[in-house]
Chains A and B, each alone.
Chain A
Amino acid sequence: MDKNVQEERFTEVIKFTPPLYKQRYQFIKDLVGKYKPKKVADLGCADCTLLWMLKFCSCIEVLAGLDICENVMKEKMHRLYPLPGDYLQPAERSLTVTLHHGSVAHKDPCMLGFDLITCIELIEHLEESELEKFPEVVFGFMAPAMVVISTPNSEFNPLLPGVTSFRHPDHKFEWNQAEFQSWALNIARCYNYSVEFTGVGPPPMGMEDVGFCTQIGVFVRKYSQTSETAHFEKPTKAAYKTVFKAVYPSLKDEKYLQIAVVSEVVFTAEIIKRSLMDHLNSKHEEYSDGPVEIKSIFQHSKNCVSEDLEKLAVEKYMEPSVSGNVVYIPLTKIFSFPKVNQLCGTFENFCKLITGKVTLSSDGSAMVVDTEEENE
Chain B
Amino acid sequence: ALQGQQPLPSQQSGHAQPQQPCLLPLLSAGELAGRGRQRGPPGAAKPEEFQISAGFQEMSLGDRGGRRRDFHDLGVNTRQAIEHVRESKTGSSGIMIRLSTNYFRLTSRPQWALYQYHIDYNPQMEARRLRSALLFQHEELIGRTHAFDGTILFLPKKLGNKVTEVFSRTKNGENVKITITLTNELPPTSPTCLQFYNIIFRRLLKIMNLQQIGRNYYNPSDPISIPNHRLMVWPGFTTSILQYEKSIMLCTDVSHKVLRSETVLDFMCNLYKQVEEQRFRDICTKELIGLIVLTKYNNKTYRVDDIDWDGNPKCTFKKADGSEISYIDYYKMQYNQDIKDLNQPVLVSQPRRRRGSLMPGPAVLIPELCYLTGLTEKMRNDFNMMKDLSVHTRLTPEQRQREVGRLIDYIQKDDSVQRELRDWGLSFDSNLLSFTGRVVQAEKIHQGGRVFDYNPHFADWSKETRGAPLINAKPLDNWLLIYTRRNYDVANALLQNLFKVTPSMGIRMNKAIMIEVDDRTEAYLRVLQQNVTSDTNIVVCLLSSSRKDKYDAIKKYLCTDCPIPSQCVIARTLSKPQSIMAIATKIALQMNCKMGGELWSVEIPLKQLMVVGIDCYHDTVSGKRSIAGFVASLNQGMTRWFSRCVLQDRGQELVDGLKACLQTALRDWFKWNKYLPSRVMVYRDGVGDGQLKTLVNYEVPQLLDCLKSVGKDYNPRLSVIVVKKRVSTRFFAHSGGRPQNPPPGTVVDVEVTRPEWYDFFIVSQAVKSGSVAPTHYNVIYDSSGLKPDHVQRLTYKLCHMYYNWSGVIRVPAPCQYAHKLAFLVGQSIHREPNLSLSDRLYYL
Q: Inside 8 A of A169's CB, which chain B residues have their CB?
A: 169-171, 173
Alpha-carbon gap, A374 to B379, bound state (A): 11
Please judge, given known A-B contacts A19-B10, A87-B223, whether A81 and B16 are in contact too, CB under 8 Å: no
Q: Inside 8 A of A267's CB, which chain B residues have their CB?
A: 227-228, 230
Contact, CB under 8 Å: B228 / A270: yes
Contact, CB under 8 Å: A79 / B17: yes
Interface centre among B10, B171, B230, B545 (most CB of A within 10 A): B171
Query: Is A83 in contact with chain B by the CB < 8 A criterion?
Result: yes
Query: Is B14 in contact with chain A by the CB < 8 A criterion?
Result: no
Q: Inside 8 A of A249's CB, which chain B residues have their CB?
A: 221
Contact, CB under 8 Å: A265 / B299: no
Contact, CB under 8 Å: A167 / B171: yes
Contact, CB under 8 Å: A84 / B297: no
Q: Inside 8 A of A265's CB, which chain B residues have their CB?
A: 227
Task: Give the residue of B227, B371, B383, B385 whose beta carbon is less than 8 angstroms from that of A84.
Answer: B371
* Nearest B residue to A260, CB-CB: B261
Contact, CB under 8 Å: B259 / A88: yes
Query: Is A324 in contact with chain B by the CB < 8 A criterion?
Result: no
Interface stretch of the complex, out of A158-166, A208-216, A292-300: A158-166
Query: Is B384 in contact with chain A by the CB < 8 A criterion?
Result: yes
Shortest C-beta distance, B209 to chain A (Å), equals 6
Task: Give the residue of A57, A89, A168, A376 whose beta carbon is less than 8 angstroms from that of B171.
Answer: A168
Interface centre among A18, A22, A259, A376 (most CB of B within 10 A): A376
Query: Is B375 in contact with chain A by the CB < 8 A criterion?
Result: no
Interface centre among A89, A249, A375 (most CB of B within 10 A): A375
Q: Inside 8 A of A166's CB, which chain B residues have their CB?
A: 173
Alpha-carbon gap, A82 to B211, bound state (A): 9
Alpha-carbon gap, A249 to B220, bound state (A): 10
Cβ < 8 Å to A, chain B residues 289-341: 294-299, 321, 335-337
Task: Give the residue of A57, A84, A163, A376 whose beta carbon is less than 8 angstroms from that of B384.
Answer: A376
Cβ < 8 Å to A, chain B residues 361-397: 371, 381-385
Alpha-carbon gap, A267 to B232, bound state (A): 13
Query: Is A262 in contact with chain B by the CB < 8 A criterion?
Result: yes
Q: Inside 8 A of B382's CB, which chain A residues have their CB?
A: 374-375
Contact, CB under 8 Å: A85 / B295: yes
Shortest C-beta distance, B391 to chain A (Å), equals 15
Cβ < 8 Å to A, chain B residues 780-829: none
Shortest C-beta distance, A269 to chain B (Å), equals 8
Please judge, given known A-B contacts A56-B297, A83-B296, whether A88 and B384 are in contact too, CB under 8 Å: no
Query: Is B831 in contact with chain A by the CB < 8 A criterion?
Result: no
Chain B residues with a Cβ closer than 8 Å to the other chain, count: 45
Query: Is A58 in contact with chain B by the CB < 8 A criterion?
Result: yes
Contact, CB under 8 Å: A83 / B298: yes
Query: Is A342 in contact with chain B by the CB < 8 A criterion?
Result: no
Alpha-carbon gap, A372 to B337, bound state (A): 41
Q: Inside 8 A of A19's CB, which chain B residues have their CB?
A: 10
Q: Inside 8 A of A168's CB, which chain B residues have their CB?
A: 171
Interface centre among B136, B173, B263, B297 (most CB of A within 10 A): B173
Contact, CB under 8 Å: A263 / B16: no
Q: Inside 8 A of B298's CB, which chain A residues have their CB?
A: 83
Shortest C-beta distance, A209 to chain B (Å), equals 25
Query: Is A352 in contact with chain B by the CB < 8 A criterion?
Result: no
Alpha-carbon gap, A76 to B15, bound state (A): 10
* Nearest A residue to B273, CB-CB: A271
Contact, CB under 8 Å: A163 / B172: yes
* Nearest A residue to B295, CB-CB: A85
Query: Is A266 in contact with chain B by the CB < 8 A criterion?
Result: yes
Query: Is A17 in contact with chain B by the CB < 8 A criterion?
Result: yes
Query: Is B546 in contact with chain A by the CB < 8 A criterion?
Result: yes
Please judge, given known A-B contacts A168-B171, A266-B227, whether A84 and B294 are in contact too, CB under 8 Å: yes
Q: Inside 8 A of B384's CB, which chain A residues have their CB?
A: 372, 374-376
Query: Is B213 in contact with chain A by the CB < 8 A criterion?
Result: yes
* Nearest B residue to A17, CB-CB: B321
Query: Is A363 in contact with chain B by the CB < 8 A criterion?
Result: no
Q: Inside 8 A of A262's CB, which chain B residues have their CB?
A: 225, 227
Cβ < 8 Å to B, chain A residues 77-98: 78-79, 81-85, 87-89
Q: Mark A14-41, 1 if CB is under 8 A from B, else 0.
A: 0001110010000000000000000000
Please judge, given known A-B contacts A78-B206, A262-B227, A376-B384, whether A83 and B297 are in contact too, CB under 8 Å: yes
Query: Is B572 in contact with chain A by the CB < 8 A criterion?
Result: yes
Q: Inside 8 A of B297's CB, which chain A residues have their CB?
A: 56, 83, 85
Task: Give the residue of B170, B173, B228, B385 whose beta carbon is less than 8 angstroms from that of A165.
Answer: B173
Query: Is A2 in contact with chain B by the CB < 8 A criterion?
Result: no
Chain A residues with a Cβ closer than 8 Å to the other chain, count: 44
Contact, CB under 8 Å: B227 / A263: yes
Q: Inside 8 A of B234's CB, which chain A residues have their CB?
A: 84, 87
Q: Inside 8 A of B169's CB, which chain A residues have their CB?
A: 169
Alpha-carbon gap, A81 to B298, bound state (A): 11
Q: Mark B135-148, 1 if CB is under 8 A from A, else 0.
A: 01000000000000
Q: Inside 8 A of A228's CB, which chain B residues have their CB?
A: none
Q: Mark A87-120, 1 if CB is under 8 A from B, else 0.
A: 1110000000000000000000000000000000
Q: Inside 8 A of A373's CB, which chain B residues have their CB?
A: 572
Q: Inside 8 A of B228's CB, which chain A residues have their CB?
A: 266-267, 270
Alpha-carbon gap, A319 to B385, bound state (A): 27
Shortest C-beta distance, A138 to chain B (Å), equals 25
Please judge, given known A-B contacts A162-B172, A165-B173, A169-B170, whether A83 and B336 are in contact too, CB under 8 Å: no
Interface centre among A56, A82, A88, A246 (most CB of B within 10 A): A88
Cβ < 8 Å to B, chain A residues 237-283: 246, 249, 259, 262-267, 270
Alpha-carbon gap, A75 to B146, bound state (A): 13
Q: Inside 8 A of A88's CB, which chain B residues have their CB?
A: 232, 259-261, 294, 371
Alpha-carbon gap, A141 to B422, bound state (A): 40
Contact, CB under 8 Å: B173 / A84: no
Contact, CB under 8 Å: B230 / A56: no
Q: Mark A334-370, 1 if CB is under 8 A from B, else 0.
A: 0000000000000000000000000000000000000
Contact, CB under 8 Å: B371 / A164: no
Please judge, given known A-B contacts A79-B16, A263-B230, A374-B382, whether A85 and B206 are in contact too, CB under 8 Å: no
Contact, CB under 8 Å: B225 / A259: yes
Alpha-carbon gap, A104 to B225, bound state (A): 44
Alpha-carbon gap, A375 to B263, bound state (A): 25
Q: Inside 8 A of B545's CB, which chain A residues have their CB?
A: 375
Alpha-carbon gap, A75 to B15, bound state (A): 11
Please judge, given known A-B contacts A57-B336, A263-B261, whether A85 and B371 are in contact too, CB under 8 Å: yes
Contact, CB under 8 Å: B16 / A56: no
Alpha-carbon gap, A130 to B7, bound state (A): 39
* Nearest A residue to B336, CB-CB: A56
Please judge, given known A-B contacts A19-B10, A85-B294, A165-B173, whether A56 and B261 are in contact too, CB under 8 Å: no
Shortest C-beta distance, A248 to chain B (Å), equals 11
* Nearest B residue to A87, CB-CB: B220
Alpha-carbon gap, A374 to B383, bound state (A): 7
Q: Inside 8 A of A82's CB, which chain B residues have their CB?
A: 220
Provide a sorted-by-A list of 29 A–B residue pairs whose CB atoms are within 8 angstroms.
A18-B10, A22-B10, A56-B335, A56-B337, A71-B136, A79-B16, A81-B211, A83-B298, A84-B220, A85-B296, A85-B371, A87-B232, A88-B232, A89-B261, A89-B371, A162-B172, A163-B172, A164-B173, A167-B171, A259-B223, A264-B227, A265-B227, A267-B227, A373-B572, A374-B383, A374-B384, A375-B381, A375-B545, A376-B383
Question: Which 5 residue pairs across A and B have the least CB separation, nearest first?
Answer: A376-B383, A56-B336, A266-B227, A263-B227, A168-B171
Give chain A's interface residues, CB within 8 Å of chain B: 17-19, 22, 56-58, 71, 75-76, 78-79, 81-85, 87-89, 162-170, 246, 249, 259, 262-267, 270, 372-376
Having A88-B294, A375-B546, one finds 10 other A-B pairs with CB under 8 Å, namely A18-B10, A56-B335, A56-B337, A83-B298, A83-B299, A84-B234, A84-B371, A87-B223, A169-B169, A375-B382
